[in-house]
Amino acid sequence: SSSSKMTLTADPAFQRLVAHVEANEKTQLQMKDEFAKDPARFEKLSRTLPTPSGPMLFDFSKHRITQKTFDLLVEVARSRGVEQMRAAMFSGEKINFTEDRAVLHVALRNRANTPILVEGKDVMPDVNRVLAHMKEFCGAIISGAWTGYTGKKITDVVNIGIGGSDLGPLMVTEALRHYQIGPKVHFVSNIDGTHIAEVTSSLSAETTLFIVASKTFTTQETITNAETAKEWFLSKGASAADVAKHFVALSTNVPKATEFGINPANMFEFWDWVGGRYSLWSAIGLSIAVHIGFDNFEKLLAGANLVDRHFQEAPLEQNIPVIMAMLGILYGNVYGSETHALLPYDQYLHRFAAYFQQGDMESNGKFITRSGARVNYSTGPIVWGEPGTNGQHAFYQLIHQGTRLIPADFIAPAKTLNPIRNGLHHEILLANFLAQTEALMTGKDIETVRKENVPEKIAPHKVFEGNRPTTSIVLPLVDPLTLGALIACYEHKIFVQGVCWDVNSYDQWGVELGKQLAKVIQPELAGPAPVTTHDASTNGLIAFIKAHRA
């Protein structure tokens, strides 16, 4: 519903949290003292999630909190109506009220098949029908039963999509490369022609299949790239009738996709209650399924479903996505942090932070509450990060000794999928994963530095203030199930924060204005005529480009 509720800053539960933190800071709450005071701190402030692949550990003990802080954070979640809004989402209410849509990515992975109703209609038969279609398609491609126009097996699949139709499938196929049993998968997203030119340059038209991922089949970048892919395909000697053997659509616009040359039997639909940045679980995940096999894709769904059930059923103080969310509220709204770092110590997860840049920033980058008023507090953080240990040699300097407070999530698998040199690489990786959160927490004071016989002039430069907050997440290993679970934890964290800030996390009106203005400018770029209809900067840029593009 869009009815008005108390603003975050006016909420007595939030005010109690602020007062408590101010008192903590007056006495200079130090995590390392809290660990010294309470030998059970780790047990009390960490949570374990059992999964069929082994337990996942979420360690929240290296945060600037006491048990009292933790309890107050849970009270803020309760006061903001997280439980009520959670029930509304799972029951198919149209919580995306600006677009009059339900928000049901949870239905896409509802493995128990319990009915989920939208306007009185159970969506599960539709979900299962499309999943069955995906399974059949993956089987045909992987077995080689599906052949190209010269009778050869498909060896390469190119997903053409952008935003939610690209970032999720790209992140997950990279993360699960170890499980590949199908064709190689490539991604073309950018309208910059370089992207499709470079991707197609190494491919053979006879053995390449294109997935065109656009719900409306009108997304400018995607349809332009799809038309270009078709031109490339036809230029290699294929005929118009062959297009249907090499192009499939993830779309609901049957007429437009048919006109393009795609067989309606090879169109995979999804629904308006699936937001782009929550869509990898739907037909949009076809490139994932065809790469790792449908059984593995189902495990990805099962991992997410396991977290959905935990999120739905666990009391707030045991609820992992809720705890993740409320710690973000603590730093963003009480401490004034502006960013959140995601630091996976796993090369397979190298696109994880990029994926959640969209997941988080497009969801909660909002300044208007559900009742239509401007917020008077910070909302969505800037999300960033790169894999460890690389980041240690790049930007960790600023996390350790910079002037900003940057909460960070450290993520690592206990077991590696590539145990080369007797596991030496993984041992070094994990030693660094563990050392960084310890270093950020304990720091190093001037006395310790002096004991190392450092010249007095240099000593202050070697001081670490410490007390820098981190969450450590340990997966048993990276597999489809644990990855699905991890992604779902962050999805629900984003939901909980959106509820706390009272914003609609499921629209994205902020992408519209630039698109509209680009439509005005594009025809103006056509001729040599000077353009004077914009501000001086935009006019000047257009003039410069016209003069120098030939």
Nearest partner of 163 among 124, 219, 239, judged by Cα: 219
- Determine if the peptide bond prior to 51 is cis (ω within 30°): no
Q: 199: how many CB neighbours lie within 10 A of its CB?
A: 19
Nearest partner of 273 among 509, 512, 507, 1, judged by Cα: 507
Report the Cα–Cα distance between both ends of the chain, in Å, rounded. 54
Q: Pseudo-torsion of CA 519, 522, 527, 532, nearest 10°?
A: 70
Q: Give how far Cα 303 sits from Cα of 55, 218, 295, 332, 337, Å.
A: 12, 33, 13, 29, 31
CB of 314 closer than 8 Å to CB of 305: no
Q: 465: how many CB neighbours lie within 10 A of its CB?
A: 12
The 8-class DSSP code of residue 534 comes to S
DSSP codes joined into one string, 234-256: HHTT--GGGHHHHEEEE-S-HHH
Told to judge if 461 belongs to the known catalytic residues of this protein, a careful annotator would answer no
Q: Give how far Cα 548 sits from Cα of 495, 519, 543, 544, Å.
A: 47, 22, 9, 6
Nearest partner of 287 among 171, 392, 461, 373, judged by Cα: 171
* Alpha-carbon span 509 to 362, nearest angstrom: 9
Question: Does an H or E element contain 121, and which?
Answer: strand 121-122
Which is catalytic among the residues 451, 457, 515, 548? 515
Told to judge if 221 belongs to the known catalytic residues of this protein, a careful annotator would answer no
DSSP H helices, 365-474, are: 396-401, 420-442, 446-451
* Alpha-carbon span 516 to 439, nearest angstrom: 48
Told to judge if 231 belongs to the known catalytic residues of this protein, a careful annotator would answer no
Q: Pseudo-torsion of CA 512, 514, 515, 519, nearest 10°?
A: 140
Q: Tokens 């800071």 sit at which residue? A: 25
Which is catalytic among the residues 362, 491, 492, 493? 362
Q: What tokens appear for 135 in the block?
A: 């399974």
Residues identified as active-site? 362, 393, 515
